[in-house]
Structure 1
Amino acid sequence: MKLFRKILFPFVPLYYAAVFLRNKLYDWSIYKSKSYEFPLLCVGNLSVGGTGKTPMIEYLITLLGSKYKLATLSRGYGRKSKGFLIATPNATSQDIGDEPLQIFNKFKNITVAVDADRQNGLKYLKEHNPLLEVVLLDDAFQHRKVTAGFNILLTAYDQLYCDDFVLPTGNLREPKLGAKRAQLIVVTKCPENLGDLEKTAITKRLNPETNQTVFFSSIQYSETLISSTSNRALSDLKGTHFTLVTGIANPTPLVEYLTEMELEFEHLNYKDHHEFSKPELEFIHSKSLVVTTEKDFSRLHTEAQDHIYYLPIQLKIENASEFERLVAGYVEVF
């Protein structure tokens, strides 16, 4: 794949030019972008997947969900449905996508909606709930038809956008110049022992604008595994062989974490948002003990499959009080 991407390098200038021109047409107001009279916070990235958007959305829900009537709106990647849908107790990942389903199952006090057309989705969200106060746009940084008032741009520690190329050779959806639209830049999936000198070096490489603030975050894994019927300590798996199943963009941090714990497992690694076939599900369900991610759990388990567990994760942001102050300061001005 890497060799094939290098072969495609001559097409990089064409892709770059097309996306650059599109962004300029929005900047020059030739292409129209709609603004809204309520807080819109966008969580996105420049690269293709794997930067931790869902943990950030969950962090923001925890921060704002108890104070405001809040909704999330995403494309619902991988769903089989079309148009605008609001999550209900009967929704499946095929209806709304695995990540929106994960959020809906975890947070009962918010509205979870999907629509590839964010303008259309916002219209129907407000019609559904006229008292709606805040909307979180998940993975909408390139959706220029909507002007978010506050953009949080994520970039993974081991794949910074400043070191990457645009598609098809690299993983960037748009040129690095697009980062200027963000108010906050968050370096995600950092090692816990990341030192101040390296943070300073990374910030310098990202070269933020004077109105931008750079934050660093890491993933904290829970000590408890959760199934549909029970919980068990992750440490209990020492000496027990299990099967790790992942269908996420970058499973490396999870694999490294479990390896560092000296756990014994085989790894079934599928592509991001993989749609498991019936034979694949039967094969996975035949395993005596399965550990998976929270996103994949919604597509793997059934009520009868109590040997399938997921490992929850939580986002930890360095200088969280300042991050939360900036987010709250934007929301409170409305």
Structure 2
Amino acid sequence: MQKKRSIFLYPLSLLYGLVTDTRNFLYNARIIKSVEFGIPVICVGNITAGGTGKTPHTEYLIDLLRKKFNVAVLSRGYKRRTSGFRLADITSTINDIGDEPWQISRKFPDITVAVDGNRVRGAKKILEIKPETGVIIMDDGYQHRRLIPGFSILLTEYSRPMTRDHLLPYGNLRESIHNTNRADIIIITKSPENISPMQKRILAKEIRKAPYQGLYFTSIKYQNPVPVFNDLKNDHNEFDLAKNKDCGIVLVTGIANPDPLLEFLKTRFGEVEHLRFEDHHSFTSADIEKINLTLKKLKNASGFVFTTEKDAVRLRGFTNIAEPLRSLFYYIPVGVNFLNNDKEEFDNLIVNYVRKNKRNNRVSERKRHP
């Protein structure tokens, strides 16, 4: 969804651009020191505020690497109610570490998940506590210049590429478009499955990638709905898409860009009502009541509540939702699919980077060339 723009915000965008460009210049000129770790560090990020698909791409990397290496994920833990460094464990809550790190820690219990707004401190702590760590995936870390990643993946969305946007607050860009030069790979996410070679060439030309940068296209892979509440996850409660295709759906989202999911559901179900909340929304009892009322107003008497995997994490906090409403909540897991048979090439590129950059347990401060 495109941001509504006010021309009065444009001067502020110019000022914001001056500040961010000055900051990047100081790092590029090596006036401000950056820290490099003697371990592979992969950064997954964007220069667009929200909605590019960082979490599913981070989870893709985790799944790719965790059977070969000891993987750690470092996030800032957006909207958590704690500060400083936190290592996720079985007792961690969303308030402790944030919804996305909590989701990752529960989905991949065999890896290390930590949060810290100071990425350098966070990486040091991870290596102190988990010295066997073989690779750190830095989630949403493209603007964190203090920590030098060995490999940077930059995401931009097909329907709203970064080249057609403007700097905050007039637009959604966190920094100027020329700073894409720090990326090793650019991924155009949420691309249509049937994208034509011509469309690919047009976007590739528009992105203006450097010769050293790889360019990949991924699409969203929606999976079968799963009950939101863990005690209802069994064979009896598996959602039958064919059987329920005529049912009504209430879609509940608190993510930056729910439009692709909404359009997907409209092609599968005859009636879809959308309750849209702000990104990382903390649901309330009033919200649950609103969901229930919307469900009752569906034309089809047989209806379900669908949500995202990220929102399901926050909705599980409502343990007092009564039946039959409780059993009607499902979330849609999301994966990524590399188009044009590029999956093998991408996978090999990532695995080879990690293998070739052996850990030496050394933390060194140096200044990196832009």
Q: TM-score, normalised by structure 1?
A: 0.96
How far, CA to CA, are the matches of 1:169 and 1:209 in structure 2?
Answer: 27
- Which secondary structure state, in structure 1, belongs to the residue aligned with residue 239 of structure 2? strand
The CA deviation string for residues 163-195 of structure 1, in whole angstroms up to 9 with x for no partner, is 111111111000011100000000000011101
For residue 12 of structure 1, what is the amino acid of its counterpart? S
Offset of 1:296 from its aligned partner?
A: 0.3
For residue 79 of structure 2, what is the amino acid of its counterpart? G
Q: How does 1:1-334 map to 2 (within 5 A)?
A: 4-227=5-228, 228=230, 229-230=232-233, 231-284=238-291, 287=295, 289-301=304-316, 302=318, 305-318=326-339, 319-333=342-356, 334=358
Larger mean CA deviation between 321-330 and 205-214 belongs to 321-330
- Which secondary structure state, in structure 2, belongs to the residue aligned with residue 34 of structure 1? strand
Are the equivalent residues in 1 in contact too, given 2:226–2:332 (CA < 8 A)? yes
Are the equivalent residues in 1 in contact too, given 2:225–2:330 (CA < 8 A)? no
How far, CA to CA, are the matches of 2:242 and 2:258 in structure 1?
Answer: 20
- Which secondary structure state, in structure 2, belongs to the residue aligned with residue 306 of structure 1? helix
How far, CA to CA, are the matches of 1:9 and 1:213 in structure 2?
Answer: 32
Are the equivalent residues in 2 in contact too, given 1:238–1:264 (CA < 8 A)? no
The CA deviation string for residues 74-129 of structure 1, in whole angstroms up to 9 with x for no partner, is 01111111111111222221111111111111111101111111011111111111
Offset of 1:3 from its aligned partner?
A: 5.8
The CA deviation string for residues 279-325 of structure 1, in whole angstroms up to 9 with x for no partner, is 22344367573110000001112556333110111100120111111
Q: Structure 2: 5+ residue runs without aligned partners?
A: 296-302, 359-370
How far, CA to CA, are the matches of 1:89 and 1:256 in structure 2?
Answer: 36
Offset of 1:4 from its aligned partner?
A: 5.0
Larger mean CA deviation between 143-152 and 287-296 belongs to 287-296
For residue 266 of structure 1, what is the amino acid of its counterpart? E
Q: Structure 1: 5+ residue runs without aligned partners?
A: none
Are the equivalent residues in 2 in contact too, given 1:225–1:233 (CA < 8 A)? no
Are the equivalent residues in 2 in contact too, given 1:65–1:110 (CA < 8 A)? yes
- Which secondary structure state, in structure 1, belongs to the residue aligned with residue 152 of structure 2? strand
How far, CA to CA, are the matches of 1:329 and 1:109 in structure 2?
Answer: 22
The CA deviation string for residues 21-75 of structure 1, in whole angstroms up to 9 with x for no partner, is 1001001111111001000000000110100000000100111011111110101
Displacement over 6 Å in runs of 4+: none
Larger mean CA deviation between 183-192 and 77-86 belongs to 77-86
RMSD across aligned C-alpha pairs, in angstroms?
Answer: 1.7
Aligned residues: 334
RCO higher in 1 or 2 (8 Å CA, sep ≥ 6)? 2
Larger mean CA deviation between 54-63 and 283-292 belongs to 283-292
Are the equivalent residues in 2 in contact too, given 1:225–1:234 (CA < 8 A)? no
Are the equivalent residues in 1 in contact too, given 2:247–2:269 (CA < 8 A)? no
Are residues 63 and 4 of structure 1, via their aligned partners in 2, closer, same or farther at CA, if it must alter by over 3 Å?
Answer: closer
Are the equivalent residues in 2 in contact too, given 1:290–1:308 (CA < 8 A)? yes
Offset of 1:224 from its aligned partner?
A: 3.7
How far, CA to CA, are the matches of 1:39 and 1:4 in structure 2?
Answer: 40
Are residues 116 and 263 of structure 1, via their aligned partners in 2, closer, same or farther at CA, if it must alter by over 3 Å?
Answer: farther
Q: TM-score, normalised by structure 2?
A: 0.87
How far, CA to CA, are the matches of 1:112 and 1:2 in structure 2?
Answer: 32
- Which secondary structure state, in structure 2, belongs to the residue aligned with residue 273 of structure 1? coil
Kindly name which structure, 1 or 2, has the bigger radius of gyration based on alpha carbons: 2
Are the equivalent residues in 1 in contact too, given 2:227–2:327 (CA < 8 A)? no
For residue 116 of structure 1, what is the amino acid of its counterpart? G
For residue 354 of structure 2, what is the amino acid of its counterpart? V
How far, CA to CA, are the matches of 2:223 and 2:59 in structure 1?
Answer: 15
Are residues 239 and 251 of structure 1, via their aligned partners in 2, closer, same or farther at CA, if it must alter by over 3 Å?
Answer: same
Identity %: 42
Are residues 4 and 217 of structure 1, via their aligned partners in 2, closer, same or farther at CA, if it must alter by over 3 Å?
Answer: closer
How far, CA to CA, are the matches of 1:245 and 1:307 in structure 2?
Answer: 12
For residue 62 of structure 2, what is the amino acid of its counterpart? I
